Amino acid sequence: MKTAIATVSISGDFTEKLAAIAKAGFSGIEIFENDFLAFDGGPREVGRMVRDHGLEISLYQPFRDFEGMPEPQRQRGFDRAERKFDVMEELGTDLMLVCSNVSPISLGGIDRAAADFAELGERAQKRGLKVGYEALAWGRHVSDHRDAWEIVRRADHPAVGLVLDSFHTLARGIDPETIRRIPGDRIAFIQLADAPKIDMDLLYWSRHFRNMPGEGDLDVPAFMRAVMATGYTGVVSLEIFNDQFRGGSPKSIAIDGYRSLMNLMDGVRRDEPGVAIDIPDMPPRIEAGGIEFVEFTADEAEAEELGGLFTAMGFAKAGQHVTKDVTLYRQGEINLVVNTEREGFAHSAYLVHGTSVCDIGLKVEDAEATLTRARAMKVEPFEQPVGPGELKIPAIRGVGGGLVHFLDATSDLRNVWDVEFRTAEPVEASGDAGLTRIDHLAQTMNYEEMLTWALFYTAIFETRRTPMVDIVDPGGLVRSQAIETADGALRITLNGAENRKTLAGHFIAESFGSSVQHIAFQTGDIFATAERLKQAGFRPLAISQNYYDDLEARFGLEPDFADRLRAENILYDRDGEGGEYFQLYSPNYGEGFFFEIVERRGGYDGYGAANAQFRIAAQKRSLRPRGMPRG
- For the annotated binding site, the residues are 134, 165, 191, 239, 440, 518, 596
Pick the closest to residue 587 from 537, 540, 626 (CA basis): 540
Phi, psi of 13 (to 5 degrees): -80, 175
Residue 226, burial from CB neighbour count under 10 angstroms (0-12, 13-18, 19+) = buried
Annotated binding site for Mg(2+): 440, 518, 596
Q: From CA 551, how far away is CA 571, in angstroms rounded?
A: 9
User: In a 3-state reduction of DSSP, which class is residue 12?
Assistant: coil
Residues annotated within a binding site for a divalent metal cation = 134, 165, 191, 239
The total of other beta-carbon atoms located within 10 Å of residue 381's CB is 12
CA dihedral 191, 196, 198, 203 (to 10 degrees): -20
Q: Is the peptide bond before 62 cis (omega within 30 degrees of 0)?
A: yes
The 8 Å CB, 24+ separation contacts for 200-208 are 202/137, 202/138, 202/171, 202/172, 203/137, 203/138, 205/171, 206/137, 206/138, 206/167, 206/168, 206/171, 206/241, 207/241, 208/241, 208/242, 208/243
What is the distance in angstroms between the CA of the first residue and the CA of the last residue of the chain? 59
Choose among 440, 435, 614, 425: nearest CA to 536.
Answer: 435
Q: Are 473 and 504 in contact (CB under 8 A)?
A: yes
Strand boundaries in 242-392, DSSP class E: 288-297, 316-321, 326-331, 334-339, 356-364
What would the 3-class secondary structure string for 608-619 be?
Answer: CHHHHHHHHHHH
What's the CA gap between 534 and 431, in Å, rounded? 12
CA R_g for the chain: 28
Task: Name which of 335, 357, 440 is nearest 401 in CA terms.
Answer: 357
Taking alpha carbons only, the member of 184, 263, 192, 260 closest to residue 224 is: 192
Give, in order, the Cα–Cα distances in Å from 85 to each of 31, 102, 151. Answer: 14, 22, 22
DSSP 8-state class, residue 242 = B
Q: Please, are residues 512 and 352 in contact by the beta-carbon 8 Å criterion?
A: yes
What letter represents residue 403's amino acid?
A: L
Taking every pair of C-alpha atoms in the chain, what is the biggest distance, in angstroms? 93
268 in the Ramachandran plot: left (φ > 0), alpha (ψ -120 to 50) or beta?
A: alpha
